[in-house]
C-alpha cells in the first residue's frame, strides 16, 4: 500500500500547520472516511460487544460477590485474596503452565517434522491426502473427540490398553492415575491441535525461496544441518505465529480435561478455565471466577508480550 | 503538540459528543435492567417448565403438553428441555437463564438440587397442598413417605416427587452362570459380594472386571457409606412437617418423619468412612473393581451387556436402558445393595420446583398436580427409563418385556428398608460433590492414600459447608 492512500483513513496534518482550519479534510476525504467507518463498523461493534464489554464486565465483576440469585455485593480485592489462598486455583495455574509448555512443544515439534516430511518429494495427490488428514481433527468438536478418546483410553475396556496388552504391556491407568492423566490429556489435545501449526509450517516452507536451499547445498550443507541453519531461521516468523497462537490456545484449555478426567484424579488435570467454569456455574461464585479470569487474561498478555520480546532475538525476517 | 490549541468548533463538537454520551448513559441508567424476557416474542405468556433434556425427548414433551392442554385448555404451556450432561450441568444452565432474566416458572429438580432451590429460589407448596388436600390424598397414599420427606426443607414441602432411583445391584446373568454362582439372596452381605466378585474374576478372561462403578454423588462411594452405617455429612431431620404427615399418612408411616433432611457437619475422617474407602481400595488392588471413573457411566451399558462387567450399582432407570441396548429380560437381574453393618440404601428423587420469580404460581401448581397424576406418569414412563414414585405403577406387566425378574426390588428398597434415604445434598451440594469426586479419585489410588486423602477431603468439605450459597 502506498502512502498516498493513508489520508483516506487518517488525514495527516503537518506539525507546523496552525490548527485554525488550514488542513480541513475535503468533502471527498470526509466521504471516504465515512465509507471506511461504515465498512469497519460491524467488526468494531462485534469486538466491542463480544470482547471489550465482557472483559470490562469481568474486571468489574471480579470486585463483587455475585451468586446470580442475589444482587452483587461490593467485595473490593477480597476475591483476589481468596484466589491467591485457594490451593485448587494455584494448582490449576501450575497445571495450566505445565500443560502449555509440554503441549505446545510437542504440537510444534510434530507439526514441524510432518510439515518437512510432507514438503519433501512425494506425489501431489499423496501430499494432499496427508495435508487433509493432519488438518481434519482440527475441524472436529473438541468435546466429541474427548468423549471418543475417553472410551479409547479406558483402563479396563479401552482399545489402547487392549493393543498394549497384545504386546504384553500391562494396562495403563491413562485417565485414573495422577501420573498418566495429564499425559493422556496432552496427547489428545496435541492430536487435535497440531494440524493448525502443520498448515502454517507447510505454508511457511513453501515461501522459502528454492534458490536459498540450492545455494546452501552448493556450499555443502545437507540434511539436518541445512534445516537447522537455513530452514529454521527462514521459518522463524511462522514459528513465532504458531507458538503465540499455540500458547494462547493452550492456556485456555478446557474441553479435553473436562470431558476426559473432570480435572482429576484429585486436581492433577484441573486447568484454570475449568476452575473458572466450576466457580461460576457450579458453585455460583461469579466474582471469584471473574477474578481468576482476569488473572488468566493478565498471564496470557504477559506470556505473549514475552514471546514478542524474545522474538527480536530469534526471529529473522528476510 | 499541535492539538493543544482547540478551536471553538472542535470544542463545541466534543462538548456535543460528551452531552450525547451523558444523555445516553443517563437514559440507560434510568431504565429498568433489560433482560432476555424483553426481547420481542420471547415472553408469550406461556407457563414455562424447564426439564432435563436427555430425559425428556419429543415424545415426553408431547405427552405433557397435550395432556395438560386437555385438562387446562386456558393455560398455555411451554416445555423447555434443557440439554445437559448431568444434574449439576442442568442446574448451571437454569441459573444462567435466571441470571439472564428468563427464569422458567417451574424447574425439574432432583435430590441434588432440592435444598439449593428450596433455600434460594423455590416456593413452598404447603398452602396449595393444604387447600387441595382431598385431591392429593390418593397421590400421597401411593408415594412412599421417605420420597416426600426428601422433598421437604425446614418443615415445608417444595416438590411432589414423580420419580426416584435407588442404587440397587444389577447382575449379569451370563457372568453369574460362567462363575457357577447363583442369584444372591436379598440379605447378602459385603463378604458374599466380595466372594462373588472373586468367583467372577476366576472364571473370566483378562478383559473382564467384576465390579464397575462411577465416581459421583449418586451411586459412587455413598451407597457403601450408607451400608456401613455412616454418611459423608452428619444427617439429622429438621423439625416440623407434622401438618403433612398427620394429614396424609397413617401413624406407622409417620414414625420418625420430620421436616426434611439436614446434612451439616462433614465427617470424612470418621472411622467407618475410612473403612468404606479402604474396602473399595482393596477391591481395586485385587483387580475386582474398576478405578473410580468420573462421568455418568455412559460406557457402562456397552461393557455390562457384553459381559465384560458382572455387577454394577444402578437404579430402575437401567431396566429401560439395558432393554434398549438389546439385553433380554432374563440376561440380567437386580438385587438390593449388600448388607454391611446395615442394609440402608441411598436414592435420588425428582419433581417440579416452583420458582419465586414466577408470576403464574397458581397455574404452575396446576401443572405440578398434573405431572404427579398416575395417568400422566403412566404415559411418561412407558419405557422404564426411571422408577416411578407411585408404588402402584410398579407391576409385573410393566417389567414383562424389559425385565428384570426381581423388579419388586426397586420399590421394596423403600418399603422393606424404611431407613433408606436420599443422597446427602445440602444447599452447598455442588461444592460438596466436587470435593467428594476429587478426593475419592486420589484416595483410591492405593490403600495408603486413603487416610491422607480423606483428611484433605474433610478440610475441603468444612470450607465448602461454611460458605453461603
- The answer to whether A68 faces chain B, any CB pair under 8 Å, is yes
Res. A229 pLDDT band, cuts 50 70 90:
confident
Has residue B112 got a pLDDT over 80?
A: yes
Q: Test B95 with A278 for CB contact under 8 angstroms.
A: no
Position with higher pLDDT, B36 vs A206 = A206
The pLDDT of residue A16 is: 45
- Residues A82 and B371: their CA atoms lie apart, in Å, by 44
User: With 0-12 CB in 10 A as exposed, 13-18 as middle and 19+ as buried, what is A299?
Assistant: middle
Q: What is the mean pLDDT of the segment spanning A26-53? A: 93
Q: What angle do CA A20, A21, A22 make, to 5 degrees?
A: 105
Of B120, B294, B442, the CB nearest to A262: B294
Position with higher pLDDT, B395 vs B3 = B395
Q: Which residues of A touch B302 (CB under 8 A)?
A: 157
The pLDDT of residue B297 is: 66
Of B98, B298, B434, the CB nearest to A282: B434
Residue in chain B nearest A163 by alpha carbon: B207
Has residue B275 got a pLDDT over 60?
A: yes
Of A67, A263, A267, the CB nearest to B469: A67
Tell me if A72 is assigned to some domain.
no
The pLDDT of residue B66 is: 95
Tell me if A44 is assigned to some domain.
no
- The answer to whether B36 faces chain A, any CB pair under 8 Å, is no
- Residues A263 and A280: their CA atoms lie apart, in Å, by 16
Tell me if A38 is assigned to some domain.
no
Containing domain of residue A260, as a range?
86-314
- Residues A304 and A307: their CA atoms lie apart, in Å, by 5
Has residue A77 got a pLDDT over 50?
A: yes
Burial B24-57 (b: 16+ CB within 10 A, else e): eeeeeeeeeeeeeeeeeeeeeebbbbbbbbebbe
Q: Test A68 with B5 for CB contact under 8 angstroms.
A: no
The pLDDT of residue A12 is: 45
Residues in chain A: 318
The pLDDT of residue B269 is: 97
The pLDDT of residue B22 is: 64
Tell me if A6 is assigned to some domain.
no
The pLDDT of residue B423 is: 98
Give A175 to chain B, closest Cα distance, Å.
Answer: 8
Res. A267 pLDDT band, cuts 50 70 90:
very high
The overall average pLDDT reported for chain B is 91
Q: Which residues of A touch B5 (CB under 8 A)?
A: 18-20
Neighbours of B247 (CB within 10 A): 13
Position with higher pLDDT, B3 vs B78 = B78
Residue-wise pLDDT for B94-108, tens only, equals: 988 888 888 999 999
Torsion of CA B124, B127, B130, B135, to 10 degrees: -80
Q: Test B99 with A21 for CB contact under 8 angstroms.
A: no
Residue-wise pLDDT for B232-245, tens only, equals: 999 999 999 999 99
Number of domains, chain A: 1
Give A17 to chain B, closest Cα distance, Å.
Answer: 8
Topology of the domain comprising B37-166+238-261+346-424: D-Maltodextrin-Binding Protein; domain 2 (3.40.190)
Position with higher pLDDT, A120 vs B201 = B201
Has residue B126 got a pLDDT over 80?
A: yes
Whole-number percent of chain B with pLDDT over 90? 75
- The answer to whether A278 faces chain B, any CB pair under 8 Å, is yes
Q: What is the mean pLDDT of the segment spanning B28-41? A: 56
Q: Among A243-252, B21-30, B439-448, where is mean pLDDT lowest? A: B21-30
- The answer to whether B8 faces chain A, any CB pair under 8 Å, is no
- The answer to whether A17 faces chain B, any CB pair under 8 Å, is yes
Q: Which residues of B touch A283 (CB under 8 A)?
A: 430-431, 434, 467
Of A13, A67, A262, the CB nearest to B2: A13
Q: Which residues pair with B387 in a beta bridge?
A: B164
Tell me if A17 is assigned to some domain.
no
The overall average pLDDT reported for chain A is 89
Mapping DSSP to helix (H, G, I), strand (E, B) and coil, where does residue B167 land?
coil
Q: Among A74-78, A183-187, B95-99, B359-363, where is mean pLDDT lowest? A: B95-99
The pLDDT of residue A2 is: 36
Q: Which residues of A touch B442 (CB under 8 A)?
A: 178, 264-266
Q: Test B291 with A19 for CB contact under 8 angstroms.
A: no
Which superfamily does CATH assign the domain made up of B168-232+267-344+428-466 to? Periplasmic binding protein-like II (3.40.190.10)
User: With 0-12 CB in 10 A as exposed, 13-18 as middle and 19+ as buried, what is B102?
Assistant: middle
The pLDDT of residue A10 is: 44
Q: What is the ipTM of this complex?
A: 0.79
Q: Test B96 with A281 for CB contact under 8 angstroms.
A: yes
Has residue A50 got a pLDDT over 90?
A: yes
- The answer to whether B430 faces chain A, any CB pair under 8 Å, is yes
Tell me if A271 is assigned to some domain.
yes
- Residues A45 and A26: their CA atoms lie apart, in Å, by 27
Give A283 to chain B, closest Cα distance, Å.
Answer: 6
Residue-wise pLDDT for A153-198, tens only, equals: 988 888 999 999 999 998 899 998 888 999 999 999 999 999 999 9
Q: At what angle do helices A232-251 and A286-314 cross, to 10 degrees?
A: 170
The pLDDT of residue A230 is: 84
Q: Which residues pair with B332 in a beta bridge?
A: B172
| Beta-carbon contacts below 8 Å between A and B | 91
- The answer to whether B434 faces chain A, any CB pair under 8 Å, is yes
Residue that is written with C-alpha cell 465498512 in the block: A39
Q: Which residues 102-121 of B are in CB contact (within 8 Å) with A?
A: 120-121
Residue A247 belongs to a domain with what CATH number? Answer: 1.10.3720.10
Domain limits, CATH 3.40.190.10, in chain B: 37-166+238-261+346-424, 168-232+267-344+428-466
Torsion of CA A110, A112, A118, A119, to 10 degrees: -170
Tell me if A33 is assigned to some domain.
no
Give A31 to chain B, closest Cα distance, Å.
Answer: 18
The pLDDT of residue A155 is: 86
Torsion of CA A202, A206, A207, A212, to 10 degrees: 120
Mapping DSSP to helix (H, G, I), strand (E, B) and coil, where does residue B214 land?
strand
Amino acid at each position: 500500500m502506498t502512502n498516498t492512500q493513508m489520508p483516506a483513513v487518517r488525514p495527516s496534518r503537518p506539525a507546523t500547520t496552525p490548527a485554525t482550519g488550514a488542513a480541513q479534510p475535503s468533502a471527498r476525504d470526509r466521504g471516504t472516511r465515512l465509507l471506511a467507518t461504515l465498512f469497519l463498523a460491524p467488526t468494531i461493534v462485534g469486538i466491542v460487544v463480544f470482547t471489550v464489554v465482557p472483559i470490562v464486565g469481568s474486571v468489574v465483576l471480579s470486585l463483587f460477590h455475585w451468586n446470580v440469585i442475589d444482587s452483587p455485593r461490593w467485595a473490593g480485592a477480597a476475591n483476589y485474596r481468596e484466589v491467591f489462598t485457594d490451593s485448587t486455583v494455584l494448582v490449576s495455574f501450575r497445571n495450566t503452565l505445565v500443560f502449555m509448555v509440554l503441549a505446545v512443544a510437542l504440537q510444534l515439534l510434530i507439526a514441524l517434522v510432518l510439515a518437512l516430511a510432507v514438503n519433501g518429494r512425494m506425489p501431489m495427490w499423496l501430499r494432499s491426502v496427508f495435508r487433509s488428514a493432519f488438518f481434519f481433527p482440527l475441524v472436529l468438536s473438541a468435546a466429541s473427540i474427548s468423549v471418543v478418546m475417553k472410551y479409547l483410553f479406558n483402563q479396563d475396556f479401552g482399545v489402547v490398553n487392549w493393543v498394549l496388552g497384545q504386546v504384553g504391556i500391562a494396562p495403563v491407568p491413562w485417565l485414573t492415575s495422577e501420573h498418566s492423566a495429564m499425559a493422556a490429556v496432552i496427547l489428545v489435545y496435541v492430536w487435535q491441535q497440531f494440524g493448525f501449526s502443520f498448515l502454517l509450517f507447510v505454508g511457511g516452507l513453501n515461501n522459502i525461496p528454492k534458490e536459498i536451499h540450492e545455494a546452501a547445498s552448493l556450499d555443502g550443507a545437507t540434511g539436518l544441518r541445512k534445516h537447522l541453519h537455513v530452514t529454521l531461521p527462514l521459518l522463524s516468523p511462522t514459528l513465532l505465529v504458531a507458538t503465540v497462537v499455540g500458547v494462547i490456545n493452550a492456556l485456555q484449555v478446557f474441553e479435553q480435561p473436562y470431558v476426559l478426567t473432570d480435572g482429576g484424579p484429585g486436581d492433577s488435570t484441573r486447568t484454570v478455565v475449568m476452575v473458572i467454569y466450576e466457580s461460576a456455574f457450579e458453585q455460583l461464585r461469579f466474582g471469584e471466577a471473574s477474578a481468576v479470569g482476569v488473572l488468566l487474561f493478565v498471564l496470557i498478555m504477559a506470556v505473549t508480550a514475552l514471546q514478542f520480546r524474545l522474538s527480536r532475538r530469534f526471529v529473522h525476517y528476510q | 503538540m499541535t492539538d493543544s490549541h482547540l478551536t471553538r468548533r472542535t470544542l463545541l463538537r466534543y462538548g456535543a459528543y460528551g452531552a450525547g454520551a451523558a444523555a445516553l448513559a443517563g437514559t440507560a441508567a434510568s431504565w429498568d435492567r433489560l433482560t432476555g424476557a424483553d426481547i420481542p416474542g420471547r415472553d408469550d405468556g406461556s407457563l414455562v417448565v424447564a426439564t432435563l433434556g436427555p430425559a425428556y425427548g419429543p415424545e415426553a414433551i408431547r405427552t405433557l403438553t397435550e395432556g395438560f392442554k386437555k385438562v387446562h385448555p386456558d393455560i398455555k404451556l411451554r416445555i423447555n428441555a434443557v440439554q445437559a450432561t448431568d444434574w449439576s450441568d442442568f442446574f448451571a444452565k437454569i441459573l444462567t437463564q435466571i441470571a439472564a432474566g428468563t427464569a422458567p416458572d417451574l424447574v425439574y429438580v432432583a435430590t441434588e438440587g432440592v435444598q439449593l432451590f428450596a433455600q434460594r429460589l423455590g416456593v413452598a407448596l404447603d398452602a396449595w397442598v393444604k387447600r387441595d388436600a382431598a385431591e392429593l390424598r390418593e397421590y400421597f397414599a401411593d408415594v412412599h413417605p421417605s420420597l416426600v420427606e426428601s422433598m421437604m426443607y425446614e418443615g415445608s414441602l417444595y416438590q411432589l416427587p414423580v420419580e426416584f432411583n435407588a442404587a440397587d445391584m444389577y447382575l449379569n446373568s451370563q457372568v453369574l452362570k460362567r462363575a457357577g454362582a447363583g442369584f444372591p439372596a436379598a440379605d447378602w452381605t459385603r463378604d458374599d459380594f466380595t466372594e462373588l466378585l472373586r468367583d467372577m474374576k476366576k472364571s473370566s478372561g483378562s478383559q473382564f472386571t467384576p465390579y464397575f462403578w462411577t465416581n459421583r454423588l449418586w451411586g459412587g462411594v455413598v451407597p457403601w457409606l450408607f451400608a456401613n452405617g455412616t454418611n459423608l455429612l452428619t444427617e439429622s431431620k429438621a423439625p416440623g412437617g407434622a401438618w403433612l404427615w398427620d394429614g396424609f399418612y397413617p401413624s406407622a408411616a409417620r414414625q420418625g418423619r420430620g421436616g426434611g433432611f439436614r446434612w451439616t457437619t462433614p465427617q470424612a475422617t470418621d472411622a467407618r468412612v475410612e473403612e468404606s474407602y479402604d474396602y473399595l481400595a482393596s477391591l481395586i488392588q485385587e483387580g475386582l473393581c474398576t478405578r473410580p471413573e468420573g462421568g455418568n457411566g455412559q460406557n457402562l451399558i456397552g461393557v455390562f451387556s457384553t459381559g465384560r462387567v458382572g455387577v454394577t450399582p444402578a437404579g430402575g432407570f437401567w431396566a429401560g436402558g439395558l432393554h434398549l441396548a438389546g439385553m433380554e429380560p432374563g440376561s440380567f437381574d437386580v438385587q438390593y445393595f449388600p448388607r454391611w453393618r446395615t442394609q440402608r440404601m441411598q436414592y435420588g428423587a425428582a419433581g417440579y420446583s416452583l420458582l419465586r420469580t414466577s408470576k403464574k404460581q397458581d397455574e404452575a401448581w396446576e401443572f405440578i398436580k398434573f405431572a404427579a397424576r398416575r395417568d400422566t406418569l403412566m404415559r411418561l414412563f412407558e419405557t422404564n427409563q426411571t422408577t416411578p414414585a407411585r408404588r402402584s405403577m410398579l407391576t409385573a406387566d410393566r417389567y414383562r418385556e424389559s425385565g428384570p425378574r426381581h423388579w419388586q426390588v426397586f420399590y421394596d428398597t423403600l418399603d422393606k428398608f424404611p431407613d433408606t434415604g436420599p443422597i446427602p445434598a445440602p444447599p452447598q451440594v455442588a461444592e460438596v460433590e466436587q470435593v467428594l469426586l476429587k478426593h475419592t479419585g486420589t484416595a483410591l489410588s492405593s490403600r495408603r492414600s486413603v487416610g491422607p486423602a480423606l483428611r484433605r477431603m474433610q478440610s475441603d468439605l468444612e470450607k465448602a459447608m461454611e460458605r453461603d450459597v
